Chains A and B, each alone.
Chain A
Amino acid sequence: MSTPAPATARPLAVGRVARTGRLRAYAPWLAAAVVLVALPHVIRTPVAVPIMNQMGIAIVFALSYNMLLGQGGMLSFGHAVYFGLGGFIAAHALNLAGRDGLYLPVPLVPLVGGLGGLLCAVVFGSFSTMRAGTVFAMISLGVGELMAASSLIFDRFFGGEEGITTNRAKAPLLFGLSFTRDGEVYYLIAFWVLVAAAAMHAFSRTPIGRMANAVRDNPERAEFIGYSQRSVRYVSFCAAGLFAGVGGGLFAVNYEILTAENMGLTASGAVLLMAYIGGVGTFMGPVIGAVVFTFLQSMLSDYTGIWLLYLGVLFLATVLFVPTGLAGFLLLHAPAWRTRRLAGLIGPYLAAAAVALVAAAGVVGLLEMVHFVASAETTRVTKRLFWVSVAPRTLTPWLGFAALAVAGGLGLRWAAPRAAAAFAEANRPEPGR
């Protein structure tokens, strides 16, 4: 056994590390705040702000989902229930503020949503968290379908098919700040995204947050060190429900309408996609996933009717080939970054990316033409594809895109092993270490 270092040396070293450590810990959050404040001034296209608002809401929702999946190992198919119910409660509260004089300024509405989400999670979590794994997933599905079906029954709360609308202009002002314009709502959303993300990150560093990871890894062992796995899951579940509700409240403020769809399987599936594509193993993963998903959803849908198919393919590709998600993939390169051997990767990676792009262009072209032909648009003859006009009912474009796909595929078979070898080389431990 090594002799321990003298006791006096330790506190000093720990103190110095703690100070620099604290700076390093807060720096990313400060940087994020700066970026969020500056963003609408940097990107000035009119369509940018609504999309950024949408991204902000998605970020909060996806981060709350990862408290369950990534942190707790709990796969839920019904997380949108807490998002939606939080949103409905927030919308009703905002209506009460506008009509009946309840003092609820707009900036506090997400908090109401959060409390609503928390309450629902406390109720539903009491039986949902009894088991983990597949049983938990099935119960979450059952609760989700239950709520979706109940929405048609409880008209007064859910507003039937039209949903519940609200108006943020009618609410009392806080410090004279009104939030009637999209640009103003952006700053509110940005504020809450930062607060919620910081809170969720802090939660993961608390004893219960650490034990949630432990229960995820080995629930049996956790019981033998004094923790009821069921109680740990329950607390995680309630916390996740709270933050999902905050997201719902932000949704209510931003869109001023909530419908049963916001609670349904589609929304629950969307957040699963977001979190997984981004990467459930890291904190930033769901953030990346939410941004990418929202971007694809809003941008792609302008260009193609089958964007959801592409998203599905991307999702499956992630599950099969990059299960750690985008963030996980980036993190894989951290050792090479530290030893400054990333330069050797640039060439092989660019080559692989280029051929992958060619293959993707071919596949996308083929799919788009199938979509064109199958959707029976007999009036149109040509379709604009990749800035070129093609006639999908003739043979030439099909051959062209098929050639692209095949060429790209063959190129990938050549380039991918080279990229993998370069990666292995960059990670090879240096001799003599």
Chain B
Amino acid sequence: MTPAIELVDVHKAFGATPIIRGVNLAIEPGTRQALIGPNGAGKSTLFNLVTGKYPVSSGRIRLRGEDITGRRPYEINRRGLSRSFQVTNIFPRLSVFENVRCGVLWSLGYRYSFWHRADNAREVQARTEAVLEQLNLTGRRHVPAGVLSYAEQRALEIGITIAGGSDIVLLDEPTSGMSRSETEHVVQLIRQVTAGKTLLMVEHDMGVVFDLADRIAVLVYGEVIAHDAPERIRANPAVQEAYLGLPQGVA
């Protein structure tokens, strides 16, 4: 089966500093996978490479078999891949409703249209409402996104990402900075919105990782040292040494 995302011998250096040192990774479609690793391993950099924010120094990246190396972010997004950001990256002066609606517009074919009224486009409005429901933000729809609470903004961040209906979703530390209960809500949300899609997420919260992920990839110093099912990753001595710590018995 063609992998949803495939990285082939990808290298990335910033100036003289190599960050990604030859990553080979294939993400199977329809799976939920997590990318874990110590700080500075290059997880966000890998996301930025796949989504087109940074160009690779060498290697190839494929989306459903199509080579997308060097393409601009919007070109990649139009091919069905969207991502969220670790540092909340929303449209602060637009309302919550409008934030989500912007995520919907391209996918429903509105492009650069100046001959439609966005308010009257029924499918756009319906889809936006549906996403707002899932985010539990329907009551906050007219609030400017910049004044939302942190957890609400993180939820909106995910909402904008999935609003367009891309079937490959990349989430960058979706639960960072959240309390226990907020994390549980977000995990529920993620499970709901990525049903039947391909998910790759960067996470530090091991509870979330083992809860959601079908497979886990471990990135250390720019190299993938393991890519396997959660139990085998947990038991992998190299992973334990590099990241998880010594085994303390069964969780």
**Of residues 244 to 269 in A, which have CB atoms within 8 Å of B's CB atoms?**
none
Q: Is the CB of B77 within 8 A of A224?
A: yes
Docked-complex contact B112 and A2, CB < 8 angstroms: no
Instruction: Report yes or no: B78 in contact with A226, Cβ–Cβ below 8 A.
Output: yes
A222–B89 alpha-carbon span in the complex (Å): 10
CA distance A205 to B117 in the complex (A): 6
Which of B103, B113, B134 is the one whose CB lies under 8 Å from A225? B103
Nearest CB on A from B11, distance (A):
23
Q: Contact at B77–A221, with CB atoms within 8 Å? A: no
Q: Does A232 contact B (CB under 8 A)?
A: yes
Interface membership of A202, Cβ < 8 A: yes
B111–A207 CB distance below 8 A = yes
Q: How many residues of A contact B (CB 8 A)?
A: 30
- Tell me, rounded to whole Å, the shortest Cβ–Cβ distance linking A19 to chain B: 13
Residues of A within 8 A of B160 (CB): 221, 225
Known: A206-B115, A207-B111. A218 touches B91 (CB 8 A): yes
* A206 contacts B113, C-beta separation under 8 Å: yes
Cα–Cα distance between A228 and B112 once the two chains are bound (Å): 10
Contacts A203-B114, A209-B114, A226-B78 known; 15 new A-B pairs at CB < 8 A: A205-B117, A205-B119, A207-B112, A208-B112, A210-B101, A210-B102, A211-B112, A213-B91, A220-B53, A221-B85, A221-B89, A221-B90, A224-B51, A224-B77, A225-B82
B118 within 8 A of A: yes
Which stretch from B22-30, B36-44, B92-100, B217-225 is at the chain A interface? B92-100
Does A224 contact B73, Cβ atoms closer than 8 Å?
yes
Contact partner, A228, options B74, B93, B117, Cβ 8 Å: B74
B interface: dominant SS: loop
User: Cα distance A221–B172 when bound, in Å?
Assistant: 14
How distant is the Cα of A202 from the Cα of B116 in the complex, in angstroms? 9
Chain A CB count within 10 A is highest, among B72, B102, B119, for: B102
Distance from A233 Cβ to chain B, minimum over Cβ atoms (Å) = 11
Q: Which residue of A is nearest B139, CB measured?
A: A2
Q: Is the CB of A210 within 8 A of B118?
A: yes
Chain B residues bordering chain A, tally (CB within 8 A): 41
A216 to B192 Cα, complex, angstroms: 31
With A207-B116, A208-B114, A235-B112 already in contact, the answer to whether A226 and B89 are too (CB < 8 A) is: no
Cβ–Cβ contact A214 & B113, under 8 A: no
Asked if A211 and B102 sit within 8 Å, CB to CB, the answer is yes
Q: Which residue of B lies closest to A206 (CB)?
A: B114
Residues of B near A228 (CB, < 8 A) are 72, 74
Chain A interface (Cβ < 8 Å from any Cβ of B): 1-2, 4, 202-203, 205-211, 213-214, 216-218, 220-228, 231-232, 235, 239
* Least distance between B133 CB and chain A CB atoms (Å): 6
Residues of chain A lying within 8 A (CB to CB) of residue B210: none
- C-alpha spacing A75/B136, complex, angstroms: 37
Whether a CB of chain A sits under 8 angstroms from the CB of B106 is: yes
A2 proximity list for chain B (CB < 8 A): 136, 138
Instruction: Kindly list chain A residues whose C-beta atoms are within 8 Å of the C-beta of B98.
Output: 210, 213-214
Flag if B114 contacts A239 (CB, 8 Å).
Answer: yes
Q: Which residue of B lies closest to A232 (CB)?
A: B112
Residue of A203, A206, A228 most packed against chain B (CB within 10 A): A206
Which of A213, A218, A222, A239 lies at the interface centre, i.e. has the most chain B CB atoms within 10 A of its CB? A218
A125 CA to B234 CA, complexed, in Å: 56
Q: In the complex where A206-B115, A223-B73, A226-B78 touch, is A214 in contact with B136 (Cβ < 8 A)?
A: no
Cα–Cα distance between A214 and B138 once the two chains are bound (Å): 20
Interface centre among B72, B83, B91, B121 (most CB of A within 10 A): B91
Q: Which residue of A lies closest to B105 (CB)?
A: A207
Given the contacts A213-B93, A221-B91, A206 and B102 also touching, CB distance less than 8 Å: no
- A224-B102 contact, Cβ under 8 Å, with A206-B115, A207-B110, A208-B113: no
Residues in A neighbouring B51, C-beta threshold 8 A: 224
A-B contact pairs, 24 of them (CB 8 A): A1-B134, A205-B118, A206-B115, A207-B111, A207-B116, A208-B113, A209-B118, A210-B98, A210-B105, A214-B91, A216-B93, A217-B93, A221-B85, A221-B160, A223-B77, A224-B51, A225-B102, A225-B105, A225-B106, A226-B74, A226-B77, A226-B164, A228-B74, A235-B112
Q: How far is the CA of A4 from the CA of B130 in the complex (A)?
A: 10
Q: Which residues of B contact A205 (CB under 8 A)?
A: 117-119
Which B residues are in CB contact (< 8 Å) with A203? Answer: 114
Q: Name the A residues within 8 Å of B183 (CB-CB).
A: none
CB of B107 within 8 Å of the partner chain: yes
CB nearest to B79 among chain A residues: A226
Distance between A215 CB and nearest chain B CB, rounded to angstroms: 9
Contacts A210-B102, A211-B102, A214-B91 given; does A225 touch B164 at CB 8 Å:
yes
Say yes or no: A217 contacts B94, CB within 8 Å.
yes
Q: A202 and B117: CB pair below 8 A?
A: yes
Q: Compute how far the CA of A271 lies from the CA of B234 in the bound complex, rounded to whole angstroms.
A: 65
**Cα-based distance from A232 to B107 in the complex (angstroms):** 16
Kindly state the separation between the CA atoms of A286 and B85 in the bound complex, as whole angstroms.
35
A218 touches B92 (CB 8 A): yes
**Please, which residues of chain B bring their CB within 8 A of the CB of A1?**
133-134, 136
